[in-house]
Structure 1
Amino acid sequence: MSSGPGSLRQLWFRWKALNLPWRRQFLVGFDLAGNTFWQFKDAINANRLRRIVKFSRKTHHADVKISPQWYQWLHHTREAAPTIQEQQYEVSRQHMMKQLAAEADERWKSKPSYLDPPSRQQPVPAVASPESASPPQPEQEVNAAVGKDKGKAPAGKPAGKEPGPWDRAQRGAPSEKWQPASWTPGIAQRR
């Protein structure tokens, strides 16, 4: 962003902005980067005015950026050209949005995530059953290992009830216990 055109250049801009009948094109305005926006009558369709931008000589063509307000004006989406105050407000609004986004990013970084290493991971989700989240009691482990209380159901489960989906998930899938068998080649038969 430049500080704006000098006093001599502003006089020249005012002269070019006058919509005089003999003038082919006239200046509509300029943006904060020093680009000027012009309007002239279309040679093919006299009812419509063409709109163009002349880039600042100080800026390389690859670095030229046109604000959304001027872009809308160039494509006849917006009738009136944006004012300098409107452009300055847009720059300050974008700066404020970047600050708010950085603060939001910091808040999200402070919260644990499942993508973090195990030392910083989130706690167990609330959708898990209470049996799966609580660690087994030492008495239950001893009884299960020795084989006592075969007629009794483990604590927290009613006797004679089928195991639920959470119980099956704790034991693991059948594919987890699968091991490949060794392969021995046989003798090929001739046809």
Structure 2
Amino acid sequence: MLFDDSYKTIENTSEGIFRDKGSKFMSYAYPIRDEEEVKPIIANLRASNVKANHFCYAYRLTPNRSVFRVNDDGEPSGTAGRPILNCLLSEDLTNILIVVVRYFGGTLLGVPGLINAYKSASIASIKASKIVIKTINDIYEAHFEYLQMNDVMKLIKEENLQILAQQFDTNCILKFEVRKAQLSQVLSKFDKLEVVKLKYLRTI
């Protein structure tokens, strides 16, 4: 099997809503890159929904979809965070957080009712978002002398690499992004260039 170097996520923040027996379930979907982003988002939602009763959420992270977490925030175990996560699993989305803010309407919905409400609210925010396919890319820096500029730029153009930053002086630095699937091909081309040093920075 070829290395799968793409994943589905959402392009921008979106919202959805579901109502049942007076309770209001407002869902918010966010594209995120790491767990550090989760707390501030929840804190903001709590600040702007002071009268809400529950802030339940689920997220999935990393291109290989291996990191996930669910939180029922006081709802009966398994009735909120898990249904939200299941929506992410069935749509095969990652690098995404969905928070469902519940305003209690006075009537208990019971376990099946809650599961349905959190699921329906989550689906509404996914439907409102734009789903995009992203590739897993490595970021590299090329260090070379000004005389090598043409060769380096030619290679960048041939391979259609995205330049992220550049500084051209006597010694030049070019920061670029390369898709995992073309990595070995790009690296072997760089190897053929004299005195160009490549430095791996990170994978996104």
- Normalised by the size of structure 2, how large is the TM-score? 0.22
Higher relative contact order (CA 8 A, sep 6+): 2
What TM-score results when the alignment is normalised by the length of structure 1? Answer: 0.23
Greater share of strand? 2
Greater Rg over alpha carbons, structure: 1
